[in-house]
Amino acid sequence: MSDLDKSIQYLKGVGPKRYRLLTRLGIYTPRDLLNYFPRTYQDRSQIEKISDLKESNTSMVKGNVSRMRNSNTRGWKSIFEISLTDNTGILLVKWFNQPYMKDKLQVDDLVLLYGRVSFYKQKLQMINPDYEVITENIDVAESLRIVPVYTLTDDVSQTFFRKLVAMVLEESLCSIEEFFPDDIIRKHKLLPLMHAIKNIHFPDTFDILNEAKKRLKYQEFFMFESAMALQKRRIKDADGYQFHIGENIKHQIFRLFPFVLTKSQEKVIRDVHEDMCRLKPMNRLLQGDVGSGKTVVAVYALIAAIANGIQAAFMAPTELLAEQHYRTLNCFLVKAKVRVLLLKGGLKTKERQENLERIKNGEVDLVIGTHTLIQTDVEFKRLGLIVIDEQHKFGVMQRTRLRRKGYCPKPDVLVMTATPIPRSLSLTVFGDLDVSIIDELPPGRIPVKTYWVKANKQTDVYGFIRKEIEKGSQAFVVYPLVEESEKLDLKAATEEAKILQDKVFPGVRVGLLHGKLKSDVKEFIMSDFMNHKYDILVSTIIIEVGIDIPNATIMLIEHADRFGLAQLHQLRGRIGRSSHKSYCLLFGAPKSEGSRQRLKAMVDTNDGFKIAEEDLRIRGPGEFFGTRQHGIPEFKIADIINDHTILQLARDDAFKLINERWNLKVSKNRILLKMIMENFKDKFDLINTG
């Protein structure tokens, strides 16, 4: 075992108590310590004259202590005060609640101070600055440096942590092993790992600090993309089903579509067709904006697989969406003699067991469900195709767990999303998948007109909605809450449905849909709305994905400023699904700049990819999908938005290494694999990566 991988508890100055504090930071070994990077840096490399100090600046000064004084405030807080002089002026310096400072300094001491400058009664001052007493044994030049600042707990001081890092660097820096091939280091002019680690903690200049950051950002991306490449290679190296899809099968499938496919749909179907006809498993991501017709591609793959005597599974994130797919697919498959089963939660034990037996015995061709499909008691006789809708709602490992139900050969996997993924996220979250994009809407679709409605125009909008309903249209009205909240000043769906019915739209049929209703009730309400038994459906974001009501041409979103940009775009996608003009009306009074930017983006464009890029910019990658558990890596130093160029370089190099030169007889590859397994073992299925 390397010294870098031993317990940090036994290093000089640590011990059991400090070890427990360090483990709270995720630091167990010296290697963990060296990979715990500073959050910022203080520039203490230049000394300023007191006469040049400016209010609000953080500065380094040198001077002599000319006066000292102790006092207490009315609340009995101690104040230790000195005056510092440097021949150009006097600086007042105070330390609050640090009575021990009187024993640290003496009059005439030569002192270095680093702190924020402020004015007090027309005098320059610093409050609680860092300090260092300069003696004959101390070289002032050594104190003039760039100082790292770490994210620490209250019980771990910056001074102790810096000394610990410096000690480990001095003792173990030579133990750090380089794992990049020489040609990659030369190609991108990267610092060797040893020098990058040293300079990320204690850089001599800001230029060398930037070089260290560049190396470590590239390294983080390279390791992650190498893991992606290994997973992709592992899937492609497995034995899959080689489907036979002749002209007769293709003809029978296309006969089921009562419309002409777009060129974009045809291209994606060709991608899927070629994947399925290969011996290696398909592993493809299908991106398409709301209403672009992704389901048609899924139908092609499903029928092609079933025509080969293979079972298929279709997983959706919610029961409402699973039921919607069940209805839609049954319409397509009614003439295809496909045995379809909707596997729902909440079934009685006997009914569920009967369904599971039918799946296990191969009496079902296509199983549609939610997370229930990955439960351990769900077994397939011959699972050969998996379709996952709204993939961003699932984690990476959930996709893997469903794939494992195919045993051997490995099933083909087609994952779909109507949430456009920005390029940078696509390279990380879905980097192990081949990508196809449907980038055009079916003919006859008219772009939805979106308006941000101010409070003084809301009555006019209600009048407009009534006129559209009188013409035969239907409308969604969406609220962020089900019931009123005492803590939030937001309109709630249940209360507002009554107001809309009784006061705003008397005589208009108003329905109510939300997630707290039982599954069969939700299905019944949606069926009624589809059959135009309601003119207005009041709902929460339960209708965010998958609901297809062509006659609905109005989407009114209350408190639109409280919704995420991706949610707003998905909600808007529930309308505009016919040749009629459609309108999305945003009610909201945003209180933050981010909220204003979201509403403006919705008004400015219908392009899902532009909206996704804006959403990523506003919220950042960790919150893009509204959760942190869907495979989005949390990098220590790299930023997938601002460092996109480095990400692309690292991805290209990583995939080239794994696909062309991966050999575990090479020591650097073994080191890389070890680091990948340590960092990403919970995110990927990386068994047998040699």
Closest CA to 297 of 328, 271, 325: 271
Q: Would you say residue 117 has pLDDT above 90?
A: yes
Q: Would you say residue 642 has pLDDT above 90?
A: no
Say which CATH architecture domain 449-605 belongs to: 3-Layer(aba) Sandwich (3.40)
SS3 486: coil
- Partners of 134 in beta bridges: 110
Choose the CATH number for 247-277+293-417 among 3.40.50.170, 1.10.1040.10, 3.40.1710.10, 3.40.50.300.
Answer: 3.40.50.300
Residue appearing with tokens 């390397």: 2
CB 670 within 8 A of CB 178: no
Category of 12 on φ-ψ map: left (φ > 0), alpha (ψ -120 to 50) or beta: beta
Q: What is the pLDDT of residues 645-662, one digit of tens each?
A: 999 999 999 999 998 888
Q: Which residues contact 267 (CB under 8 A, 6 or more apart)?
A: 436
* Whole-number average pLDDT of the chain: 87
C-alpha to C-alpha distance for 516 and 397, rounded to whole angstroms:
28
Category of 352 on φ-ψ map: left (φ > 0), alpha (ψ -120 to 50) or beta: alpha
At residue 626, the pLDDT reads: 47
Q: What is the pLDDT of residues 165-179, one digit of tens each?
A: 999 999 998 889 898
At residue 111, the pLDDT reads: 93
For the record, the structure tokens of 582 come out as 């459609």
Residues of the chain with CATH 2.40.50.140: 61-143
Angle between helices 667-680 and 206-237 (to 10 degrees): 90
Say whether pTM exceeds 0.75.
no
Strands, E, within 588-630: which ranges? none
At residue 687, the pLDDT reads: 46
CB 406 within 8 A of CB 384: yes
Q: What is the pLDDT of residues 275-333, one digit of tens each?
A: 999 999 999 999 887 778 888 999 999 999 999 999 999 998 888 788 888 888 888 88
Residues of the chain with CATH 3.40.50.300: 247-277+293-417, 449-605
**CATH code 3.40.50.720 for 61-143:** no
For the record, the structure tokens of 366 come out as 């296509």
C-alpha to C-alpha distance for 170 and 160, rounded to whole angstroms:
15
